[in-house]
Amino acid sequence: MIGAVQERVREIGVYSSVGLAPTHIAFLFLAEACVYAILGGIIGYVLGQAVSKIVTTFDLLSGLTLNYSSLSVVFSTLLVMAVVLLSTLYPARKAAQMAVPDVTRRWVFPEPKGDYLDFDFPFAVSGQEILGLYVFLLDYFSGFEEESVGNFYTKGIKLSQIDTEQGKGYRMFMKMWLAPYDLGLSQEVELLAIPSGEYNVFTIRLKIHLTSGDMASWKRINRRFLKDVRKQFLIWRTVAVTEKDKYTERGNQMLKLEKGD
């Protein structure tokens, strides 16, 4: 398995680039080992039965009685499976370390400056997809406007085009109330798509302003909100190209209507 990890360095890099956490990559190798263990146990058991049949038919070992239903056979098979899984723990750990070659294994939540959070979200999006992604996020956040169910409640969502030093970008603004609502936590959220100036790639900048509620609860509950946003970015990467094109076309129409107003 260690050799398999070394041979799949580029594959591990792809897993990391599409948003898989190091733990997820490690579990992929453990799942592969589970498949090998189960298949090996079944194939070995069947081959054992075949050899037993041949020995019995041709009387190769006269006087020997083979009991294929013995518990020792089951224990031996389970022991082999356990050895295969245990031998994968270290390679899986090495694969997780190769995915993020740094001491920090998870994204660290930034510290707010006063009532403001301002940081780059750990995702980059190509220029061909950025507008479609923002329409996709617009639909997601709009689903929380009607009723105060879920982790947050949104209002006044707006999508617009902005000018940056590197060129045209996009801005999504909304007001948001965070659950549990009896804490009275509300905030203003800005998602800025800013061109990086290279390879037609956009960086995502997130600005959050606390408008009501206490700071400690705001920091704690915003982690859950950011996990929800991250999940939507990952889901976007699984959307078919044709659907992404439809989102982009909708975005162009929305921006045209905004300019017309």
Q: In terms of domains, do 78 and 168 share one?
A: no
Residue 209 in any domain: the answer is yes
159 and 252 belong to one structural domain: yes
Domain boundary pick from 99, 127, 152: 99
Residue 30 lies in a domain: yes
Q: What is the C-alpha to C-alpha distance for residues 162 and 157, in angstroms, rounded to an integer?
A: 16
172 and 75 in a common domain: no
- Is 107 inside any structural domain? no
In DSSP terms, 212 is beta-bridged to 186
Does 76 reside within a domain?
A: yes
> Within this chain, do residues 94 and 128 fall inside the same structural domain, yes or no?
no
Domain-embedded: residue 188: yes
Based on the domain organization, do 61 and 144 belong to the same domain?
no
Tens of pLDDT, residue by residue, the chain (261 residues): 666 666 777 777 777 766 677 888 888 888 888 998 899 888 888 888 888 888 878 777 776 677 767 788 888 888 988 888 888 888 888 877 776 655 455 566 778 888 898 888 878 888 899 999 999 999 999 988 876 667 888 999 999 998 888 888 999 999 999 988 888 999 999 999 998 877 788 989 999 999 998 998 998 888 888 888 888 998 998 899 999 999 999 999 988 877 665
Query: Is residue 84, in this structure, part of any structural domain at all?
Result: yes
Is residue 211, in this structure, part of any structural domain at all? yes
CATH number at residue 236: 3.30.530
* Count of other CB atoms within 10 angstroms of residue 175: 15
Q: What is residue 227's predicted lDDT score, i.e. its pLDDT?
A: 87
Q: How many domains is the chain partitioned into structurally?
A: 2
Same structural domain, 161 and 214: yes
Cross-strand partners of 189 = 174, 208
Residue 174 and residue 186 in contact, taking contact as beta carbons nearer than 8 Å? no
Q: What is the pLDDT of residue 103?
A: 46
Q: Are residues 125 and 247 in the same domain?
A: yes
Q: Find tokens 């603004």 and name the residue.
A: 173
- pLDDT value for 247: 94
Got the DSSP string for the chain?
-HHHHHHTHHHHHHHHHTT--HHHHHHHHHHHHHHHHHHHHHHHHHHHHHHHHHHHHTTSSTT----TT-HHHHHHHHHHHHHHHHHHHHHHHHHHHHHS-SS--SPPPPPPBTTEEEEEEEEEEETTTHHHHHHHHHHHHHTTSSS--SSEEEEEEEEEEEEETTEEEEEEEEEEEESSGGG--EEEEEEEEEE-SSTTEEEEEEEEEEEES-HHHHHHHHHHHHHHHHHHHHHHTTS-HHHHHHHHHHHHHHHHHHHH-
Residue 104 located in a structural domain = no
pTM of the model: 0.62
Domain containing residue 67: 2-99
Let me know whether 77 and 131 are in one domain.
no
Of 99, 129, 156, the position where a domain reaches its end is 99
Together in a domain, 82 and 122: no
